[in-house]
Amino acid sequence: MKKKVVIGLIFMFSTVQWGICSGQLSLNSQTRHNKPSKIMPWQEYATETGNEDYDLILLFLPDNQYELAFYYINPKFPDQPDGLTLSMGMYETKGSMLIMHDKLLGFQWCVQRREDGLLIKSGFQFMRENLLTFYRTAQEPADKTQIKFDYRTRLVKEKSMQQPYNSLSKSYSWNYFKLYLENDHSYRLLHHGKVVISEGIWSREGNILTITDSALKTPFYGIILPDGLESMLLPGLYRGPVLNKYEIDRSSLVRQE
């Protein structure tokens, strides 16, 4: 039975299977084909097998569109990869560079075309210098990925309303995500407690939390609720889930450089 991984956005995996076969994320060398001469719709590029924590998969779509997915691989459960969408939008070619324009939040990141694959030159810090090699040409899905959550309208409405001032927790949790807000106004958004998806500076205005990623120089938002934080949208949390307040022993945290 083919495992469907659906976190962040709704993917139609019935035809585009993202290399998840029989419940396993199979990005081994046996499934990779010869490198194509140019980028075409439905081509998938992926990080080489060997990273013990995660894989990145970049799918090129018609009309110069793309989707970038992140898969965390837990060594204890290698047959249960946890997937989420990091970015989706349009791309343009400038010489050897691909300029990726994220349509969700308006940030840009860059990929360099090389003989040995696609090298990520900018983006979230953990993405940088990851080499993606041609994996395969996928089948066209019956339905395209859709964003059904209008966070912009929700955010504007919240800013215009007079609401009680909710207390801000120093830690929030949803699924495998943990958001830590430090007293010096720095933050880290971790996945599985290991991969730093985003880090930078946080601030608040009323009940609106703003986190600005230091690598992207891009703000992301959350609405501070009495018992949690609603994503508007935080990196990887593109369906607007509510993160719960999360109390931790902060002395046990190890900062990743």
pTM: 0.78
Q: Is residue 212 part of a domain?
A: yes
Q: Is residue 224 part of a domain?
A: yes
pLDDT tens-digit series, residues 36-51 = 668 999 999 999 755 5
Q: What CATH code is carried by the domain that includes residue 129?
A: 2.40.128.360
Domain's final residue, options 137, 165, 182: 137
User: Are 99 and 191 contained in the same domain?
Assistant: no
Domain's final residue, options 137, 170, 196: 137
Tell me the residue range of the domain where 112 lies: 20-137
Query: Between residues 123 and 249, which one has the greater pLDDT?
Result: 123
pLDDT at 166: 93
Q: Is residue 142 part of a domain?
A: no
Please give the tally of structural domains in the chain: 2
User: Are 155 and 231 contained in the same domain?
Assistant: yes
User: Are 25 and 98 contained in the same domain?
Assistant: yes
Q: Is residue 41 part of a domain?
A: yes
Q: Is residue 12 part of a domain?
A: no
pLDDT tens-digit series, residues 51-98 = 567 899 999 999 999 999 998 877 777 777 778 889 999 999 999 999
pLDDT tens-digit series, residues 178-234 = 999 999 999 999 998 888 999 999 999 999 999 999 999 999 999 999 999 999 989
User: Are 180 and 104 contained in the same domain?
Assistant: no
Q: Is residue 8 part of a domain?
A: no
pLDDT at 132: 95
pLDDT at 255: 43
User: Are 133 and 35 contained in the same domain?
Assistant: yes
User: Are 118 and 208 contained in the same domain?
Assistant: no
pLDDT tens-digit series, residues 224-251 = 999 999 999 899 888 789 999 987 654 4
User: Are 116 and 198 contained in the same domain?
Assistant: no
One-letter-per-residue 3-state SS of the chain: CCCCCCCCCCCCCCCCCCCEECCEECCCHHHCCCCCCCCCCCEEEEECCCCCCEEEEEEEECCCEEEEEEEECCCCCCCCCEEEEEEEEEEEEECCEEEEEECCCCCEEEEEEECCEEEECCCCHHHCCCEEEEEEECCCCCCCCCCCCCHHHHHHHHHHCCCCCCCCCCEEEECCEEEEECCCCEEEEEECCCEEEEEEEEEEECCEEEEEECCCCEEEEEEEECCEEEECCECCECCCCEEEECCCCHHHCCCCC
Q: Is residue 180 part of a domain?
A: yes
Q: Is residue 196 part of a domain?
A: yes
